[in-house]
Amino acid sequence: MRLYKRKDSASWWVSWIDQKGQRHRKSTGTDDKSVAKALAGKWQQESFMEHHFGVIPDVPFRDALLRYADAKKRENPKGYEDTNRYQLQMILDKFSDKMLSEIDAKALRGFADTCRETQKDASLQRYLALIKAILNKAKDEGDLVSLPVFPKVKQPKGRTRWLTVDEEHRLLKACPERMRLLIAFALDTGGRSSELFRLDWRYVDLGSGRVTFIETKNGEDRSIRLTERAKRVLLALGPKDSGPVFTYQGKPLKRVKSSFNTARTKAGLEDFRFHDLRHTFASRLVQQGLPLYEVMHMTGHKSLTMVQRYSHLAPEYQERAVAALNTYGHDLVTVPANDRQDLKLENEKPPENRGLEMVPSGGIEPPAPSLPMTCSTPELRRLCLA
């Protein structure tokens, strides 16, 4: 082991060769030689323990989190700034003094209990997912042997609030012109508020009738074909070569929560948020028969999980299910030829009388006397005892 200083650093560096013959060079981060020497001895001992006994040196959770944050920032800078940065800061505040080995089931349960006092289950689930991602990265890098058991959180029900045509007319009527144009465009493109606010005229092609959302939440660009109404919105805004599409008093639009809530209240809409315009976009696609896989690409989701909530809105949803069930069981019950006319007349009787005379009093095949029968309804019991 050798301590030395580099010309470009005031800190002491350490160099040593491990049991595999591999050389390591590392900065101690201090200009105090005694502290640097202690750190060098600790690292060398950890290297020895890992090689001979499989003991992985413990790492501060803070370091693992910062490495994860750097990777996320490189992958999707805008998404990191909009969402991950604040969530990671909250997690760091809670676990900044912990080592990786201390992030165990007990610590995670305590974190969940504290979060539940101020956060909804959906937010808690996102925080736990981030912590798991941090630990997974640390495990992949060799700093962690295995992941702890995470507390279970009730899966929040996905919102499916969407506008009816009447509600849409009321909302648009209650909006000032600029807000009306933004809402109409959101309804016809499914853009997230962040995507709409960042939309630049450079990514609008009225000639081909397309608009491209860049730096989306999942880090991938998404191209959307424009409806006729969406084209009229862009023409009304006055196309330019570049610059933000949606502005207020000449400046890029950044938020609309206050003005949107005013319009929503005026329109008499309850439990409706700006993001629900995106739900409306997806719901209408499904209602028009578009396959969920295609809806997934239109909305920019990376998996079908997020669009499964709209599956029940598909036309002929139950009709297809019933048709599938009708392919089974044709030979289980047969109606004698002489009774087919009676069955036809039976179907014309009021619903409450149907089914009471389809089977003769003795049954299709009377049961053997030695076998007891249990009848679940008075009608069936009467037939059984006849």
- Is 90 exceeded by the pLDDT of residue 294? no
- Is 50 exceeded by the pLDDT of residue 380? no
Whole-structure pTM over 0.85, yes or no? no
359, with CB counted inside 10 A (0-12, 13-18, 19+), is: middle
Over residues 214-225, the pLDDT tens digits come to 877 777 788 889
The CATH fold assigned to 171-317 is hpI Integrase; Chain A (1.10.443)
327 or 264, higher pLDDT: 264
Looking at mean pLDDT, say which of 6-10, 125-129, 315-319 comes out highest.
125-129
241 or 290, higher pLDDT: 241
Q: What is the pLDDT of residue 354?
A: 45
Catalytic residues: 192, 217, 275, 278, 301, 310
Q: What is the pLDDT of residue 364?
A: 43
Report residue 69 as tokens. Answer: 């944050």
- What's the pLDDT band for 376 if we cut at 50, 70, 90? very low
Percent of the chain with pLDDT over 70: 71
- What's the pLDDT band for 374 if we cut at 50, 70, 90? very low
Q: What is the pLDDT of residue 234?
A: 94
Least confident range from 24-28, 143-147, 318-322, 338-342: namely 338-342
The structural domains of the chain, with segments of one domain joined by +, span 2-53, 61-140, 171-317, 346-385
- Is 70 exceeded by the pLDDT of residue 283? yes
Return left, alpha or beta for 22; rule: phi > 0 is left, psi -120 to 50 is alpha, else beta. Answer: beta
Least confident range from 3-7, 117-121, 245-249, 305-309: namely 305-309
Over residues 86-98, the pLDDT tens digits come to 889 999 999 988 8
Looking at mean pLDDT, say which of 242-256, 329-343, 344-358 comes out highest.
242-256
Q: Long-range contacts made by residues 176-179, C-beta under 8 angstroms, separation at least 24?
A: 176/259, 176/263, 178/246, 178/248, 179/256, 179/259, 179/260, 179/263
- Average confidence score pLDDT of the chain: 77
Q: What is the pLDDT of residue 331?
A: 54
- Is 60 exceeded by the pLDDT of residue 381? no
Q: What is the pLDDT of residue 369?
A: 44
304 or 197, higher pLDDT: 197
Q: What is the rounded average pLDDT of the residues 341-353?
A: 50
138, with CB counted inside 10 A (0-12, 13-18, 19+), is: buried
Tell me how far apart the alpha carbons of residues 314 and 317 are, in angstroms, rounded to a whole number: 5
- What's the pLDDT band for 48 if we cut at 50, 70, 90? low
Could you tell me which residues come within 8 angstroms of residue 275 by beta carbon, excluding any fewer than 6 positions away? 159, 192, 193
Q: What is the rounded average pLDDT of the residues 89-110?
A: 90
Least confident range from 1-15, 179-193, 261-275: namely 1-15
